[in-house]
Amino acid sequence: MNSLELQAIYVMWMRQIKRFMRARGRLVANIIQPFFFLAFLGLGLRPIRLPGLRIGMSFLDFLAPGMVALSIIFASMFAGVSIIWDRQFGFLKEILVAPVSRFSIVVGRTLGGATISIIQGLTILAISILFGAEINLIGLIPGLFMMLLTAFFAVGLGIALASRMEDPHAFSLIMNLIMMPATFLSTAYFPLESAASWLRALIYVNPLTYIVDGLRGCLTNSFSIPPWIDLTVTISICAATMSIGTYLFNRSEA
Amino acid sequence: MAIIEARGLTKRFDGLVAVDHIDLDVEEGEIFGFLGPNGAGKTTTIKMLTTLLKPSEGEAKICGYDVVKQPDLVRKSIGVVFQEPALDDQLTGRENLDFHARLYGLNRREREERIEEVLKLVGLEDRADELVKNYSGGMRRRLEIARGFIHHPRILFLDEPTLGLDVQTRRAIWSYIMELNKREGITIFLTTHYLEEADNLSDRVAIIDHGKILAVDSPRKLKDMIGSDVITLRCSEPNRLKNILESISWVKDVKHHGEELSIYVEIGETKIPKIIKIAEENGIRISSITLREPSLEDVYLDFTGKSIREEVKPMIRRPPRFRRLR
């Protein structure tokens, strides 16, 4: 990879950071929903006992890593899908006609999306600690690695969707029809062990489950699924969406 | 060797032929105008020449590089200003330029120098640090033109550079384009459906319609092909008058478009009285009559059989989107 490609990755990353810094309202808008969940659900159900909650683990402790994971997934997906808006507003052509590879463009956008979404995820984490969630701070190191994989997975998914869609409205349909149920079935809101057995089957097929469980394990030492399975699944889906996203974006035309 | 060379360049979209076996030879340093109505295939041609679309057939070379086999080398040698704005309006003007300069591999010193230079050339140095979303349409266009040549391309492609701009801004853009062509020696390939734009700017013009090139030459020579003068008149029975005039030896050609007849003759001022007399003898009432030198409009009319204005809606039409993925 030559310096021009590195430069391209850098500018694509920089552009997203700049846009993010300028649209501070967006940060608030993105954080507000998980904030309410933490505040009302987390604090409201704090003393509740559920199968799957370790002794001494409050519902807030349980909920916080899930909210971090979901906010990273949504922010990253949005960053990937924003290619649609670039296409709509014509800026994509400026990028595609430049003498840099599409691969570098994808990498730059992915890193940009990941940076932004992890900043948001860490903000949520900080808020939940302020609310009194007990977080294992040493677990933050493997936790950050999980967050990065999560972000890559979701940006790749967003890019893949954006490369196939011409209409930005189709995106909100996908969000409501697929992402909404997928988040409910990801163990972000309730433990795997509390779910009815037919629901449990759905939870196991949902790839988001392994992301949420893996991150929760890192941050609270409480895994419902063996960590190596979480990691393997997360790495696999990450590799899958990234390669599909790159492939589809490579074939798309301005 | 021509700097842009196309042979049998063709693009089909689901059975529709948008560009139909065109040949092009654009010489280094010239301003080449690509004139045609909306939907004639201008944008599709530009997209193929700038590697954004793959030709269905035929080949094109830019600076000697093949657009399909060596797209990166082609991209390095060209600058493109698209028909629809392609700026990030949440960045400032300067940031947009910096983004572009980095994508084309300019180092820090080159970037700083060059950005100042191009901003000055298009007169945006005072507004460079404002967000593009606060720019007017004309300012955006100027910024895009500045961006298009920041990396010293050998060819600048401009797709309808003044579409939707008011007359004053349009003239300002023309002077920037000419200045650029003169000062930096950049070859300019521009598409337009404005006849005066093609006439004023281009060293040579290609007339394109339905994906085919109908004529290529300098505006002067194209006009000379038509003859020396054009008499335009409005009358009560244009069709009958046309038939009568066509049988007269000194009338080179008569065209009927809309409510007007265009009559092509030599030494027009001596023919006006004769035409009026002929009309009167046949009981046809003439309501207005004018004499002028042939314009590119007449050339266009001659080649396509229709007036370019008949096709151009006052509304800005977006080109059809041909992006389909399989």
- Report pLDDT digits (tens) over A6-24: 999 999 999 999 999 888 8
Among B49, B70, B90, the residue to mutate for chain A (most A Cβ within 10 A): B90
Contacts of A4 in chain B (CB under 8 A): 105
> What sign does the CA torsion over B287, B292, B296, B299 have?
positive
Question: A47-64: per-residue pLDDT in tens?
Answer: 888 888 888 889 999 999
Residue of A nearest to B87 (CA): A91
Interface contact flag, B82 A90, Cβ < 8 Å: yes
Contact A93 B80 (CB under 8 A): yes
**In residues, how long is chain B?**
326
Q: In this predicted structure, what is the pLDDT of residue B32?
A: 95
Q: What is the identity of the amino acid at A211? A: I
A136-188: pLDDT as tens digits = 989 999 999 999 999 999 999 999 998 888 777 888 888 888 888 999 999 99
- Inter-CA distances, A221 with A53, A61, A178, Å: 11, 11, 29
The average pLDDT across A76-100 equals 89
Distances (CA, A) of B43 to A79, B38, B53: 30, 9, 10
Q: By the 8 A CB rule, do A132 and A37 touch? A: no
pLDDT digit string, tens, across residues B59-117: 999 999 999 999 989 999 999 999 888 999 899 999 999 999 999 989 999 999 999 98
Give, for A158, the enclosing helix (H) or strand (E).
helix A140-164
What is the pLDDT, as a whole number, of residue B119?
Answer: 92
Q: Each residue of B140-158: pLDDT tens digit? A: 999 999 999 899 999 999 9
CB B210, CB B179: distance < 8 Å: no
Q: How many CB pairs under 8 A join A and B?
A: 80
pLDDT average, residue stretch A203-225: 94
pLDDT of residue A82: 87
- What residues in chain B have their Cβ under 8 A from chain A's Cβ atoms? 47, 50-53, 72-73, 75-76, 78, 80, 82, 84-91, 95, 99-100, 102-105, 147, 321, 323, 325
Contact A121, A196 (CB under 8 A): no
Which value does ipTM take for this structure?
Answer: 0.84
Q: Assign A216 a pLDDT band (cuts: 50, 70, 90).
A: very high
Residue numbers in B near A164 (CB within 8 A): 325
pLDDT of B183: 86
Show the low-confidence residues of chain B (pLDDT under 70).
Answer: 305-326
Whole-number average pLDDT of chain A = 91
**Whole-number pLDDT of residue A176:** 82
Closest-CA distance of chain A to residue B94, Å: 13
* Superfamily holding B4-218: P-loop containing nucleotide triphosphate hydrolases (3.40.50.300)
Topology of the domain covering B228-293: Alpha-Beta Plaits (3.30.70)
Question: What pLDDT, on the 0 to 100 scale, is given for residue B326?
Answer: 37
Res B170: pLDDT:
86
Q: What's the number of CA atoms in the CB half-sphere (13 Å) around residue B30?
A: 18
Nearest to A74 by CA among A36, A14, A32, A19: A32
3-state secondary structure A6-24: HHHHHHHHHHHHHHHHHCH
CA nearest to B250, candidates B262, B267, B235: B267
For residue B56, the model assigns a pLDDT of 93
Nearest to A193 by CA among A54, A40, A26, A19: A54
Averaged confidence pLDDT in chain B: 86
> In this predicted structure, what is the pLDDT of residue B194?
85
Whether residue A242 contacts residue A152, with contact meaning beta carbons closer than 8 Å, is answered with yes
Residue B315: predicted pLDDT:
41
Strand order in B253-257's β-sheet?
A: B253-257, B260-265, B229-235, B286-292
Per-residue pLDDT averaged across A202-206, rounded? 95
Q: Do B104 and A98 touch (CB under 8 A)?
A: yes
Inspect the interface and report whether the beta carbons of B323 and A89 lie closer than 8 Å: no
State the pLDDT at residue B308.
58
Which chain A residues contact residue B95 at CB under 8 A? 18
B51 and A93 within 8 Å at the Cβ level: the answer is no
**Whether B89 and A89 lie within 8 Å, measured CB to CB:** yes
Q: Which of B53, B4, B32, B21 is nearest to B204 (CA)?
A: B32
The answer to whether B99 contacts A15, with C-beta atoms less than 8 Å apart, is: yes
B325·A15 Cβ contact <8 A: no
Tokens 């409201």 -> residue:
A44
Q: What is the pLDDT of residue B129?
A: 95
Domains of chain B, residue spans: 4-218, 228-293
Higher pLDDT, A46 or B322: A46
Residues of chain A contacting residue B102, judged by C-beta atoms under 8 Å apart: 7-8, 10-11
DSSP string for B184-225:
S--EEEEEES-HHHHHHH-SEEEEEETTEEEEEE-HHHHHHH
